[in-house]
């Protein structure tokens, strides 16, 4: 396998495919029922075999786990639940030896309320750290300073009884927001990034990218509709125009500084740009400034229809063609195969859509288990862990189903995830057929279809067929979503029945309906004009027949 880490390419992420590891649920190396760094290290070979290039790891820092690690109590250490710095270094070394790069999750919008910074800040209004967080006096009626709410529902302000002031938190009260208007916060964060860069990490996934800077006047957001009991967290959030709490222009200044630092390490900056508006997405994705990529979250909210699939693909390409992080699932959203359709249809659609991502500019990411076509695991209410569901009382707000452990092999209660009989979450109804081992032993299983697609993308890049070619959207019919990149034509059947393609002078070189991989240059493959049926959810890649003939003649 090529060692991509050793290639001196300052834009290595231009051709990378990423993979999100939700550390608690990936692999348990010490038998306590919780995933950890040792378990990840043991399973890195699977990711190298699969054909990904970049591994994003969710937070592993010391934490009280009010939000499962996104409440950080120390940004430069490892929580004993996951291992220690030696285990981290060993994981990075093995990953690099396999040609995999490592990206760690950083949480700069807020810390834990147990972080020494906040404990100092809350100890006195005269504390040197007081201004590291955002404090305000009550409104005239004694209530919160403004109408801002959290991403998890409820007011974004909590009263500190000792001082009589409120502190701001866009998430849980246990996650107070840092004050990025204070230069000392920026200085501290540069030291944090350098600490991990010096340990060999290759980049950072930036949590709450859009939230760092706030309106200095703390003005209330315009209200779009009244809040009522029983609203989900998303319904509450969408009841306001978020004019003053997120997307402030000063945030870009933070990332300009980060990018300058990361350029010295050839490191990648990827933002959790949780906005569904492409105009807002461009704010952080200046071509030579700010972050390198920002996640486009519309695919994670996609309710399948040809029109919506087309819009999800076209909108960001037209706005920020080189800056997209493509993903269809994550640790915060229901898994794609279950959202896109029942059973095999949902799996086919997920693979078809990911194939369309893979041909577009940007960096596509799998979420752990996407390669197995996993749907959400079943978590009964008495096993709920997600703090959001306890805050809102709305069962559909629970993120536990997409976080159930990865099934590795049959023969034990936890299907190889752990030697324990139970885990921090249950397996959620997984079967032997869902496991990595069983699927890898079956050449027709979904994991081989996903691997074939990833290796096909790598091969097309090596042939120079995807690197710089512009995207041209094509119209093949209402249920077909398609685009060209140079001499390649990507087509997805987003409808509900098989369709016949009829395109002159093109040949199918890859289809998601099998696991045979990319057709070799010059090899015989059915000509589209001779009849090519594309099933529901299936994607095909076509190439100019003239180009293939020319390439074969040149080699001869």
Comparing CA positions, the residue from 389, 201, 344, 348 lying closest to residue 328 is 348
Residues 6+ apart with CB under 8 A from 229: none
Q: What is the DSSP letter of 300?
A: G
What is d(CA 157, CA 138) in angstroms, rounded to the nearest whole number? 10
57-89 in b/e burial notation, b at 16+ Cβ within 10 A?
bbbbbbbebbbbbbbbbebeebbebbbeeebbe
What is d(CA 355, CA 375) in angstroms, rounded to the nearest whole number? 19
Q: Are 132 and 177 in contact (CB under 8 A)?
A: no
What is d(CA 530, CA 45) in angstroms, rounded to the nearest whole number? 41
Distance of CA 89 to the CA centre of its chain: 23
What is d(CA 417, CA 399) in angstroms, rounded to the nearest whole number? 19
Instruction: Give the helix ranges, DSSP H, for 394-505.
Output: 436-441, 446-462
In a 10 Å sphere around its CB, with 0-12 CB exposed, 13-18 middle and 19+ buried, how is residue 121 labelled?
buried
Distance of CA 546 to the CA centre of its chain: 38
Half-sphere exposure of 319 toward its Cβ, with a 13 Å CA cutoff? 19
Distance of CA 387 to the CA centre of its chain: 20
In a 10 Å sphere around its CB, with 0-12 CB exposed, 13-18 middle and 19+ buried, how is residue 547 labelled?
middle
Is residue 489 classed as helix, strand or coil in its secondary structure? strand
Q: Are 532 and 511 in contact (CB under 8 A)?
A: no
Distance of CA 390 to the CA centre of its chain: 24
What is d(CA 299, CA 276) in angstroms, rounded to the nearest whole number? 10
**Phi, psi angles (nearest 5°) of residue 101:** -95, 155
CA distances from 16 to 99, 227, 325, 366 (A): 11, 43, 11, 12
Active centre residues (catalytic): 207, 272
Is residue 298 classed as helix, strand or coil in its secondary structure? helix
Element (H, E) at 236: helix 233-237
Encoded tokens for 443: 């050449």
Q: Are 301 and 336 in contact (CB under 8 A)?
A: no
């Amino acid at each position: 396998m090529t060692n991509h880490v050793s290639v001196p390419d300052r834009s290595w992420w231009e051709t990378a495919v990423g993979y999100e590891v939700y550390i608690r649920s990936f692999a348990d190396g010490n038998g306590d029922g919780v995933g950890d760094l040792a378990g990840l290290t043991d399973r890195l070979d699977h990711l190298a075999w699969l054909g990904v290039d970049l591994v994003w790891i969710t937070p592993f820092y010391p934490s009280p786990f009010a939000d499962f690690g996104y409440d950080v109590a120390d940004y430069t250490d490892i929580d004993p639940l996951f291992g220690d710095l030696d285990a981290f270094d060993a994981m990075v070394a093995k990953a690099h030896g396999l040609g995999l790069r490592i990206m760690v999750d950083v949480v700069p919008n807020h810390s834990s309320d147990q972080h020494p910074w906040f404990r100092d800040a809350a100890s006195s209004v005269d504390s040197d750290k007081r201004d590291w967080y955002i404090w305000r006096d009550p409104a005239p009626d004694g209530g919160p300073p403004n109408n801002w709410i959290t991403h998890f529902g409820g007011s974004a302000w909590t009263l500190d009884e000792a001082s009589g002031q409120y502190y701001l938190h866009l998430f849980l009260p246990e996650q107070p927001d840092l004050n990025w208007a204070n230069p000392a916060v920026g200085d501290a964060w540069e030291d944090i990034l350098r600490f991990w860069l010096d340990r060999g990490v290759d980049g950072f996934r930036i949590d709450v990218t859009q939230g760092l800077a706030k309106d200095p006047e703390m003005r209330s957001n315009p209200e779009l509709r009244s809040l009522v009991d029983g609203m989900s967290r998303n319904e509450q959030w969408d009841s306001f125009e978020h004019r003053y709490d997120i997307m402030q222009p000063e945030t870009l200044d933070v990332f300009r500084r980060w990018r300058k630092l990361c350029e010295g390490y050839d490191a990648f900056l990827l933002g959790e740009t949780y906005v569904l508006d492409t105009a807002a997405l461009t704010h952080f994705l200046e071509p030579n400034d700010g972050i390198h990529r920002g996640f486009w979250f519309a695919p994670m909210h996609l309710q399948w229809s040809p029109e919506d699939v087309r819009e999800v693909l076209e909108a960001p390409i037209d706005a920020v063609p080189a800056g997209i992080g493509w993903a269809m699932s994550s640790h915060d959203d229901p898994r794609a195969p279950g959202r896109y359709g029942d059973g095999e249809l949902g799996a086919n659609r997920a693979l078809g859509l990911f194939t369309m991502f893979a041909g577009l500019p940007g960096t596509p990411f799998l979420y752990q288990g996407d390669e197995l076509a996993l749907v959400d695991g079943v978590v009964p209410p008495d096993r709920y862990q997600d703090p959001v569901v306890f805050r809102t009382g709305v069962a559909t707000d629970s993120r536990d189903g997409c976080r159930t452990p990865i099934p590795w092999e049959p023969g034990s209660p936890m299907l190889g995830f752990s030697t324990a009989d139970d885990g921090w979450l249950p397996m959620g109804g997984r079967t032997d057929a869902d496991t990595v081992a069983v699927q890898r032993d079956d050449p027709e299983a979904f994991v081989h279809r996903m691997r074939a697609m990833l290796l096909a993308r790598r091969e097309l890049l090596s042939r120079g067929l995807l690197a710089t070619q512009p995207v041209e959207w094509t119209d093949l019919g209402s249920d077909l979503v398609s685009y060209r990149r140079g001499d390649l034509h990507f087509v997805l059947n987003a409808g509900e029945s098989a369709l016949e393609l009829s395109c002159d002078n093109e040949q199918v070189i890859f289809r998601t309906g099998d696991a045979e991989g990319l057709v070799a240059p010059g090899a015989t493959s059915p000509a589209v004009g001779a009849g090519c049926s594309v099933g529901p959810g299936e994607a095909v890649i076509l190439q100019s027949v003239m180009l293939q003939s020319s390439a074969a003649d040149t080699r001869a």
